[in-house]
Amino acid sequence: MSEAAETKPRVKLLKYNAVAMWRYTFHNEKCGICRTHITQRCLDCVSAGNDVSECKLAWGRCGHCFHVHCIQKWLKTTHTCPMCSQVWEAERITGHNAADEDDSDDEM
């Protein structure tokens, strides 16, 4: 033990670059209804020229995510998730940049 502690380290760490990986924790990256990436506005908002702040995202308990405008239109006819057909239960509603929201799950 003491011998190992006395020997000088052969390598000295001068600098390091930390790399972090991240990914979304939901299953689909595209809204299954309008097929636009969920980081972008839904097709309704694109057509209407709405700002991205007006287009919210709905996250289901089943782990699927849709634009609020898209899922609302679908829920008028059937109250199930379009991706997995489980009964739709909204878990939370966020803006497109989830980290900016006041939502507790996504605090900075």
Partner 1 sequence: MATNVRTRRLMKELSTIRKDAALGTLDPILTLEPVSDSLDTWTATIKGPDDSAYSGFVFKLSINIPSQYPMTPPEVRFVTKIFHCNVHFSSHEICLDILKSTWTPAWSLQHVVRAIHLLMGAPEPDSPLNCDAGNLLRAGDKRAHDSMVRLICSRYAERLQPEK
The binder of partner 1 chosen from 38, 60, 82, 98 (CB under 8 A): 82
**Extended strands (E) in 1-108:** 57-60, 65-67, 90-94
Cα–Cα dist 52/72, whole Å: 17
Q: How far is the CB of 61 from partner 1 (least distance, A)?
A: 17
* Helix (H) / strand (E) containing 57: strand 57-60
Q: How far is the CB of 10 from partner 1 (least distance, A)?
A: 51
If one asks whether residue 104 binds partner 1 (CB under 8 A), the answer comes out as: no
If one asks whether residue 85 binds partner 1 (CB under 8 A), the answer comes out as: yes
Q: How far is the CB of 32 from partner 1 (least distance, A)?
A: 4
Give the residue among 59, 60, 52, 36 at the shortest CA–CA distance from 96.
52
Q: Interaction with partner 1 in 32-51: which residues (CB under 8 A)?
A: 32-36, 43-44, 46-48
